[in-house]
C-alpha cells in the first residue's frame, strides 16, 4: 500500500500547463533541424541577457574557477558547510523557498487566499507537500483583474463556508500571468484586509527586476511603511519571497529567498532550508556576481530594455491579427485575450482552442483555466525564452490560424463575465478533495 501522498492526484503534473511542456519536449521547434516543431511559449524563462552574464564570467576567472586572491577555494567549498549559508552569500541573499513559508505559516488543511489568475505551479509548490489549501480570489477583466475589497471578502467567505481557517493571502507582484504591478489602492485593500482578519501576507516579488515601464514597482515593504505600520503587530505579518530565476534568468541554480521581520519565521525557515540547500559552489559564484555592483546596475538596465522590446514584438504581432493583450509593464509574458476565437463562452471551448494551438498551430501557450481564471478565453503567452526569429515564426503561424478560424465562425465573447457566473465557473475549476484540493482542468 502506498501513502496518501503517493496516491494523491493533486500535484498538477497532469494539467494542461505541464502537458503542453511534455508535447513540446517530444517535438521541439528548431529553425534548421525541426522547422515544423512546437514553439515553446508556455515557459517564463529569461534568456534575453545571458550574453551579459557570460561576459562577466569570462572576465572573472577567479570566481568561475573557485579561486580567491590567487588561491584555490575548492577544498573549502567542497567540505561541509553550515546550512545557514556562506557568510559572503548571505550578505547578498538569504537562501530559502516559497514552500517553506507555507510550512511556517499554516497547518495542513488551513488555507491561503490567492488572486486569480495565478501561476499554475502554485498548486504544486504551495500545497502538494504542505497540505495547505488554496482559495481563489476571483478577479475580473472588467477592471484589469485588479484586487478589490469585494473579491477579498468573497474569498474569505468561501473559505468559511468550507470550514477552512484562513492564515494569509499570497500575491505575486509583479503578477504572473498578468505582467502588471500592484497599485497603492490594491495594497490598501490587501493590508487593511489582512489587519482586520489578523492574517499574514506573502508577497512573491520574483519578477520585480523586470518592470520596464510605468507605473513603477512598489514592494509591499514600501506600502507598509507608507501606512506607518512599522511599530505595529503587522510588521511581523508580511513576508517577501524572491528568487534569481526570472530577473537574472538562473532557474537552474535553484536559489530562493525569504525576507521577513518575523524572527521566529526566519529561524524555522533556516532550519527547514537544510532539506534543500544551495550548493556552496553556487553560493560562492553568485556572491561574487551579485557583489559586482557595476555589473548588476548595467544588467538590470539592459535586461529591462530587452524585455520591453520583445514584449512589444509580441503585442504588435498579435494586434496585427486583432488579438489584444492586457496592458502590462513587467514580466516575461503577456495575458492575451482570445475570447473572440472561442466557439462558445465555456472552458470546454477554451480547452479546445488550446489543443488546436498546440497540435495544429504548433505553439504551446498556457490556457487561462490552468491559471484558475474565472473567465474563459484568456491565455498566458511567454516571449523571453526564444529568439526573435522563433517569435516571428510563431506570429506567422497564429496569423494563419486566426484567419482560418474567423472564416469558420465569427463569435465575439469579449464581454466581461458577471459576478454570478464567476461563482458558477469557480465551481467548475475548484473542488474540495479528501486531501488538498484537486482542480478540474
CA 46, 52, 55, 56 dihedral sign is negative
Distance CA 207, CA 186 (A): 18
Annotated catalytic residue within 206, 323, 381, 429? 206
The DSSP bridge partners found for residue 363 are 39
Distance CA 277, CA 420 (A): 46
The DSSP bridge partners found for residue 60 are none
Q: Is residue 218 annotated as a catalytic residue, yes or no? A: no
Q: Is residue 345 annotated as a catalytic residue, yes or no? A: no
Annotated catalytic residue within 123, 204, 247, 337? 204
Annotated catalytic residue within 118, 119, 242, 345? 119
Q: Is residue 292 annotated as a catalytic residue, yes or no? A: no
Distance CA 292, CA 63 (A): 12
Could you tell me the three cell numbers for 26? 517530444
Could you tell me the three cell numbers for 357? 494551438
Residue of 295, 336, 50, 331 whose CA lies nearest to 211: 331
Distance CA 230, CA 226 (A): 9
Q: Is residue 204 annotated as a catalytic residue, yes or no? A: yes
Annotated catalytic residue within 167, 246, 304, 311? 246
CA angle 246, 238, 256 (to 5 degrees): 30
Distance CA 185, CA 166 (A): 22
Residue of 290, 207, 226, 220 whose CA lies nearest to 261: 220
Hey, which residues are catalytic here? Answer: 119, 204, 206, 246
Amino acid at each position: 500500500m502506498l501513502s496518501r501522498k503517493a496516491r494523491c492526484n493533486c500535484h498538477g503534473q497532469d494539467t494542461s500547463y505541464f502537458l503542453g511542456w511534455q508535447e513540446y519536449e517530444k517535438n521541439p521547434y528548431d529553425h534548421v533541424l525541426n522547422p515544423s516543431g512546437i514553439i515553446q511559449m508556455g515557459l517564463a524563462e529569461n534568456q534575453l541577457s545571458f550574453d551579459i552574464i557570460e561576459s562577466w564570467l569570462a572576465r572573472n576567472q577567479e570566481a568561475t574557477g573557485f579561486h580567491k586572491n590567487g588561491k584555490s577555494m575548492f577544498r573549502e567549498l567542497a567540505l561541509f558547510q553550515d546550512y545557514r549559508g556562506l557568510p559572503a552569500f548571505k550578505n547578498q541573499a538569504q537562501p530559502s523557498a516559497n514552500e517553506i513559508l507555507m510550512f511556517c505559516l499554516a497547518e495542513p488543511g488551513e488555507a491561503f487566499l490567492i488572486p486569480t489568475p495565478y501561476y499554475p505551479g502554485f498548486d504544486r509548490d504551495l500545497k502538494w507537500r504542505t497540505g495547505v489549501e488554496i482559495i481563489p480570489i476571483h478577479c475580473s477583466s472588467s477592471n484589469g483583474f485588479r484586487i478589490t475589497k469585494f473579491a477579498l471578502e468573497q474569498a474569505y467567505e468561501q473559505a468559511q463556508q468550507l470550514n477552512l481557517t484562513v492564515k494569509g493571502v499570497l500575491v505575486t507582484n509583479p503578477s504572473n500571468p498578468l505582467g502588471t504591478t500592484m497599485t497603492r489602492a490594491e495594497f490598501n485593500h490587501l493590508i487593511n484586509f489582512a489587519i482586520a482578519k489578523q492574517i499574514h501576507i506573502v508577497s512573491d516579488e520574483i519578477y520585480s527586476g523586470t518592470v520596464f515601464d510605468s507605473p513603477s514597482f512598489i514592494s509591499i515593504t514600501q506600502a507598509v511603511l507608507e501606512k506607518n505600520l512599522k511599530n505595529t503587530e503587522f510588521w511581523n505579518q508580511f513576508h517577501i519571497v524572491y528568487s534569481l530565476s526570472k530577473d537574472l534568468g538562473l532557474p537552474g541554480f535553484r536559489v530562493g529567498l525569504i525576507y521577513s521581520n518575523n524572527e521566529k519565521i526566519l529561524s524555522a525557515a533556516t532550519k527547514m532550508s537544510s532539506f534543500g540547500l544551495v550548493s556552496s559552489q553556487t553560493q560562492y559564484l553568485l556572491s561574487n556576481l551579485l557583489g559586482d555592483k557595476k555589473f548588476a546596475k548595467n544588467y538590470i538596465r539592459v535586461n529591462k530594455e530587452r524585455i520591453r522590446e520583445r514584449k512589444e514584438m509580441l503585442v504588435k504581432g498579435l494586434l496585427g491579427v486583432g488579438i489584444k493583450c492586457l496592458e502590462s509593464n513587467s514580466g516575461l509574458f503577456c495575458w492575451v485575450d482570445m475570447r473572440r476565437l472561442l466557439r462558445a463562452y465555456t472552458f470546454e471551448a477554451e480547452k479546445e482552442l488550446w489543443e488546436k494551438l498546440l497540435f495544429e498551430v504548433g505553439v504551446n501557450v498556457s490556457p487561462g483555466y490552468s491559471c484558475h481564471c474565472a473567465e474563459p478565453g484568456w491565455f498566458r503567452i511567454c516571449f523571453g525564452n526564444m529568439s526573435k526569429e522563433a517569435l516571428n515564426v510563431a506570429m506567422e503561424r497564429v496569423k494563419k490560424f486566426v484567419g482560418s478560424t474567423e472564416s469558420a465562425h465569427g463569435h465575439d465573447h469579449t464581454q466581461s463575465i458577471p459576478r454570478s457566473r464567476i461563482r458558477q465557473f469557480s465551481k467548475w475549476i475548484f473542488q474540495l478533495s479528501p486531501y488538498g484540493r484537486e482542480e478540474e482542468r
